[in-house]
Amino acid sequence: MRQYNEEIDKTIIEILHKNGEMAFGKLEYQLKQCIKSFSYETYSGRLKQLCEISQNSKQTRYAIQPVLEKKDKGRGKNVLYSLTKNAKIRYDLKLPILKNDTLIEKAYRILFYYMIFFYNQITKLKDEDEYNAFLEKLCINKNELEYQGRNIIKDKDSKENIFEFTNWIHIQSEIRFKQKHYLKSSGEEGKYEYFYMLPGISPSEFIRIRERGLVYQELNCTKDEVIQYFELLEKHNLIKKLQSYPLMILNKERYIIIDDLLQELLVDCWTLQSHVSTYLEYVWKSLSKPTNEERIWYAHLWGKSRSEEWFRHCYHIRREYKEKNNQVLKETQGKLDEEKSEIIKKFDSIKNEYAKIINDYLYFIKPLLNVVYPEFLRKDFNQ
């Protein structure tokens, strides 16, 4: 019954988005062309709930409230229904309106914004004795470690070498190890430190990462919800749980993205979104205030309170900019043109280089790309 009602809700939203304002009877007729069997009571009840604002936000089935606007023109006249402004914009942005859809979308956010960029949480080992004891605990022989090269860290000012890192990986478990060697210019010549990095990410680690003020900070996920998201991603064969013996000894539940090409695509998507955000930042600080679409899109990423604070900051910058200049400065226009060019180039590159992988994961990539590079900006660039 629950799933059936959700299908009615989705179809009502689609019909009103396509046709705009509609009378009660005409909307019912259109709905019957798509869904053959439902009662008048079910239809009437769904419209009522779509128009209401629930007093208990946890019980509502909608990501926003109200979804529909109702205009009653009086006795004997038509009752008209239409999408609210926020619902229409969210539909255009392909953001979820039903809460059940937000479950899937939140899981995708975890995959996109966290799993690719926060692999390999680094843990420091006190000294070489602790390093050796750690290997012994994991039943890893040093001969099993594959050498991954060295890299030198230079002092920013003197440009002299201060540290040398030697890197190894244990292929079976994908655990990485580092030895940090202090060189002469460091002032602690001959000192060694050791580190290890577990592969992938865990649900509990995601909770800690979210507390650092990053994108999607305001998801407000409970631990049980995050576990549910990870299970959903695993069910869709987007991630897998690592099962190596060393990880079992550590009692660590670790997940990685299954498809390497998908991970590469997601990294490029992040680069694309960085250009989009930079472009809009220049617009908001020098040309115009954010549109309603831009506000909803940005709040979707950063949360309402943080977005409003940012928009106020942009307003003050824009006001100062306009007081000093009656036109866009040449360097500002240059930055806008540069970012626009990079956005178009990166998007075309993604479509061409990852055509097959996009098709394989279309149900996931299509809505994600629209968040990364929203439709309103694509239309603006194509004009």
Neighbours of 355 (CB within 10 A): 10
pLDDT band with cut points at 50, 70 and 90 for residue 256: confident
pLDDT for res 238: 84
- Tell the residue number behind the tokens 């128009």, with chain if given: 51
pLDDT for res 119: 52
Residues of the chain with CATH 1.10.10: 2-92, 106-117+201-257
Determine the Cα–Cα distance for residues 143 and 183; give it in Å rounded to an integer: 26
More confident residue, 327 or 22: 22
Determine the Cα–Cα distance for residues 245 and 171; give it in Å rounded to an integer: 12
The pLDDT tens digits for 114-156 are 666 555 568 999 889 999 999 999 999 999 999 999 999 888 7
Buried-exposed string 35-58: b where 16+ CB fall within 10 A, e elsewhere: eeebeeeebeebbebbeeeeeeee
The pLDDT tens digits for 301-317 are 777 888 899 999 999 98
Q: Which CATH class is domain 106-117+201-257?
A: mainly alpha
pLDDT for res 216: 57
The pLDDT tens digits for 5-18 are 688 888 999 999 99
pLDDT for res 348: 95
The pLDDT tens digits for 325-359 are 667 778 888 999 999 999 999 999 999 999 999 98
Determine the Cα–Cα distance for residues 119 and 133; give it in Å rounded to an integer: 24
pLDDT of 36 strictly over 80: no
Question: Taking the complete model, does pTM exceed 0.75, yes or no?
Answer: no
Which of 77-86, 92-101, 286-295, 336-345: highest mean pLDDT? 336-345
**Adjacency order of strands within the sheet including 175-182:** 122-125, 192-197, 175-182, 161-170, 145-154
Query: Domain 2-92 belongs to what architecture?
Result: Orthogonal Bundle (1.10)
pLDDT of 92 strictly over 90: no
Please measure the distance between the N-terminal and C-terminal CA atoms of the chain and give it in whole angstroms: 45
Q: Quote the percentage of the chain above a pLDDT of 90.
A: 37
Over residues 50-69, mean pLDDT: 81
Q: Quote the percentage of the chain above a pLDDT of 70.
A: 87
Closest CA to 350 of 274, 275, 266, 259: 266
* Full 3-state SS string of the chain: CHHHHHHHHHHHHHHHHHHCCEEHHHHHHHHHHHCCCCCHHHHHHHHHHHHCCCCCCCCCCECCCCCEEEEECCCCCCEEEEECHHHHHHHHCCCCCEHHHHHHHHHHHHHHHHHCCCCCCEEEECCHHHHHHHHHHCCCCHHHEEEEEEEEEECCCCCCEEEEEEEEEECCCCEEEEEEEECHHHCCCCCEEEEEECCCECHHHHHHHHCCCCCCHHHCCCHHHHHHHHHHHHHCCCEEECCCHHHHHHCCCCEEECCHHHHHHHHHHHHHHHHHHHHHHHHHHHCCCCCHHHHHHHHHHHCHHHHHHHHHHHHHHHHHHHHHCCCCCHHHHHHHHHHHHHHHHHHHHHHHHCHHHHHHCHHHHHHHHHHHCCHHHHHHHHC
Determine the Cα–Cα distance for residues 178 and 150; give it in Å rounded to an integer: 9
CB 367 within 8 A of CB 105: yes
Over residues 292-296, mean pLDDT: 90
Least confident among 23-27, 99-103, 178-182:
99-103
Determine the Cα–Cα distance for residues 365 and 251; give it in Å rounded to an integer: 33
Determine the Cα–Cα distance for residues 80 and 22; give it in Å rounded to an integer: 5
The pLDDT tens digits for 197-244 are 988 888 877 776 655 555 555 556 677 877 887 887 888 788 889 889
- Tell the residue number behind the tokens 């202090």, with chain if given: 182
Amino acid code (one letter) for 301: L
CB 73 within 8 A of CB 350: no
pLDDT for res 4: 46
Determine the Cα–Cα distance for residues 68 and 45; give it in Å rounded to an integer: 13
